[in-house]
Amino acid sequence: ALLQISWGIDQSFPAHFIFGAATSAYQVEGGWNADGKGETVWDKYLHEHPGKAANNATGDVSADSYHKWREDVMAAARMKLQFYRSVLF
């Protein structure tokens, strides 16, 4: 299994429970200057104020979903998510 969780009590969900996932631009997007897409609010802030994030981090690459979006969609499909919200679509 791609993801296994042990809840410790009852490991089932109601039949009507809907599983999904969502992403956040700063955490996963990357590609801040690719294809003319422009900066996110966080890109702009951290470029103008270096050192405001731990270890001088930026979202310039992050998880690089901008370039790896197909892999992200395939992972969501393997997890059988019923909903997937991406910052890219």
> Is this prediction's pTM over 0.85?
no
Which residues lie below 8 Å from residue 20, measured CB to CB, with a gap of 6+? 81, 82, 83, 84, 85
Reported as type and span, the H/E element at residue 82 is: none
pLDDT attached to residue 21: 94
Per residue of the chain (89 residues), give pLDDT as tens: 456 666 666 667 888 999 999 998 888 999 988 998 888 899 999 999 999 999 999 989 999 999 999 999 999 999 999 999 987 76
Domain ranges, ordered by start, for the chain: 20-85
pLDDT attached to residue 47: 94
pLDDT attached to residue 88: 78
Which residues lie below 8 Å from residue 34, measured CB to CB, with a gap of 6+? 66, 67
DSSP reduced 3-state for 45? helix
